[in-house]
Amino acid sequence: MVNVNWLSNTKITFHHVMKSMAYRKKNTVAMLAVLSFGFYLFFLFQNIKGQLIENINQYSLKHDLIISMETAHLPLVLFSLFQIGSSPPAISQSHLDELINHPEIEYAIPYAYGETHRGITVIGTSPEGIEQLIQQHTNELERENKLNDHTETVSLRDNPMTAYIGANIAKHLGYKINDQITIADGSEPILEQEYPELFTIAGILPRLNTHQDDVIFVPLDGLITARQRYAGGHATSWLSPDDISYIDIKLRDRMALLAMEQTLTQSAAQRGLNITAAMPAKELGTLYSYLNKAAMSLISMSMVTLGLCLITLFYALTRNIQERKQEILLYRTLGMSQSYINIMAVLEPLLIISGALLLGFVSSDLSSIHASEFFMVKWLMN
């Protein structure tokens, strides 16, 4: 049997607590804001740490070696995987073809930089690179149980003058499949630096919240053809039409990673080439240790901030109780038991803490993606 008197007293108690908080609106809002900020920092830094570690683990498993002209290992890995920093020096793909012709190599995908479209980075890669990119997005959509109705599969070898654009480009510029676009030489080209060939948009890549949402991919064969036709009578930013920035290598057996790195470096030296063969797993492992220390420091700072917020809340509520002695005496006079008065004293901070916890969690979840990008690009690299 339901205790009607208990329900009535509980309802009255909750009603009085809400009226008390409304009566002290400014004080309540101030405490809620301060405490929400403490929870926000705590959850935000936890999310940043989790997202960065997830990205590092994801990329380190997909890439075994990255080869480019001689450059520092970590900047090469950060640029090739996250587009952080500047492109490594270009090298003719023909110079590297013999190096990557090894039975232990499962695939070797080149990436060429140097062209843009309306300030948007254009990346030239092999058909295998674009097919892998499409498959990556398809797998992501399958995991989310979404149909891929934005990307069409075409024969890249039959038609190299195609382009695949990121989701942000399609949204901001209004591009659709079968639209045609031009590309130009350089990062800030003038009209005369545009290549005469047109590239047909063959696919719009679904959003992944990575740098791929803001770039254009074209087959390397099509890019080389456009460069060759443009080269006559024009000054170019590249020395050879088949210049590339780096090659992404995947091995059949990762146990051969160290031996393959030494083999490629020595073979290049014998041909008079100074190359870098960076191992993403190794470099990202080093990066992870730095990020983990920085993230733990930030989490510790957020916990200190949260603790100070809770102490501030405690003293504010203690002061409220002291100021409400007459109110408590009135409740006793009206017949309210001491137990319900105690419940009122506990319920008010619980409501404030619960509200602050919810606000802090939601706001940190909404801003963690942008915050992790800032943490990686701005804070780490500077």
Residue 164 or residue 319, greater confidence: 164
Distance CA 242, CA 218 (A): 14
Measured CA distances, 316 to 18, 322, 352 (Å)? 17, 10, 12
Most confident range, picked from 17-31, 131-145, 320-334: 17-31
On average, the pLDDT of the chain sits at: 77
* Region of poorest pLDDT, from 32-46, 173-187, 254-268: 32-46
Residue 28 or residue 326, greater confidence: 28
Question: What is the pLDDT, as a whole number, of residue 152?
Answer: 46
Question: What is the pLDDT, as a whole number, of residue 169?
Answer: 93
Question: Is residue 183 within 8 Å of residue 220, measured between CB atoms?
Answer: no
- Indicate whether 147 pLDDT > 70: no
Average pLDDT on 2-24 reads 63
pLDDT band for 7, please (50, 70, 90 cuts): low
Reported as a single tens digit per residue, the pLDDT across 267-297 is: 888 888 888 888 888 887 777 777 677 767 7
The dihedral formed by the CA atoms of 7, 12, 17 and 18, expressed in degrees to the nearest 10: 100
| SS3 assignment for the chain | CCCHHHHHHHHHHHHHHHHHHHHCHHHHHHHHHHHHHHHHHHHHHHHHHHHHHHHHHHHHHHCCEEEEECCCHHHHHHHHHHCCCCCCCCEEHHHHHCCCCCCCEEEEEEEEEEEEECCEEEEEECHHHHHHHHHHHHHHHHHCCCCCCCECCCCCCCCCCEEEECHHHHHHHCCCCCCEECCEECCCCCHHHECCCCEEEEEECCCCCCHHHHCEEEEHHHHHHHHHHHHCCCCCCCCCCCEECEEEEEECCHHHHHHHHHHHHHHHHHCCCCEEEECHHHHHHHHHHHHHHHHHHHHHHHHHHHHHHHHHHHHHHHHHHHHCHHHHHHHHHCCCCHHHHHHHHHHHHHHHHHHHHHHHHHHHHHHHHHHHHHHHHHHHHC
**Residue 329: alpha-carbon gap to chain centroid:** 57
Residue 265 neighbours by CB distance under 10 Å = 17
- With a pLDDT cut of 90, the percent of the chain lying above it is 19
Q: Per the structure block, which two tokens stand in for 76?
A: 């090469």
Distance CA 201, CA 12 (A): 65
Question: What is the pLDDT, as a whole number, of residue 182?
Answer: 94
- Indicate whether 208 pLDDT > 60: yes
Question: What is the pLDDT, as a whole number, of residue 319?
Answer: 64
- Indicate whether 381 pLDDT > 60: no
pLDDT band for 219, please (50, 70, 90 cuts): very high
Reported as a single tens digit per residue, the pLDDT across 37-64 is: 777 877 777 777 777 667 666 666 677 8
The residue type found at 237 is: S
Reported as a single tens digit per residue, the pLDDT across 342-374 is: 666 677 777 777 887 888 788 777 776 666 555
Question: What is the pLDDT, as a whole number, of residue 122?
Answer: 95
Measured CA distances, 240 to 94, 248, 279, 334 (Å)? 10, 20, 27, 92
Reported as a single tens digit per residue, the pLDDT across 67-81 is: 999 888 888 888 888
Q: Per the structure block, which two tokens stand in for 186?
A: 């350089």
Query: Interior CA angle at 111 toward 63 and 140, to 5°?
Result: 55
Residue 142 or residue 94, greater confidence: 94
pTM listed for this prediction: 0.68
Residue 179 or residue 136, greater confidence: 179
Give residue 125's region: left, alpha or beta (phi > 0; psi -120 to 50).
Answer: beta
Question: What is the pLDDT, as a whole number, of residue 175?
Answer: 93
